[in-house]
Amino acid sequence: MYAASTYYFDSSAEVDGSADVLSGIKAANWYHVGSLACGSMIITIIQIIDFIIIKLAEKSVESSGDNKCAKCLLRCGECCLKFFE
């Protein structure tokens, strides 16, 4: 997008009309790496919480035997976690 916008807005009769692809890569790496890292951290935290809750729920269902209510609650909890993920 950076190259396309610089090509469109900076092109005139005096300028050769070249697109700044390398400047776009530099800007993306300089200004947006923190956003990518923050998003990755949020996804990782949600996946860890998901893993812990699912393992605890599976252990509780195993200890309760063949309880249909416990299995239903486990599936509803999994659905809610997948929604947040």
Q: What residues contact 19, with CB distance under 8 A and at least 6 apart?
A: 3, 4, 6, 7
How confident is the model over 17-66, as pLDDT tens digits?
566 788 888 888 888 888 888 989 998 998 898 899 888 888 887 887 77
Specify the DSSP class assigned to residue 65: -
Q: Identify which has the larger pLDDT, 8 or 37.
A: 37
Counted residue by residue, the chain has a size of: 85
3-state SS, residue 85:
coil
* pLDDT in the model for residue 73: 82
pLDDT at position 13 is: 58
Report pLDDT for 56. Answer: 84
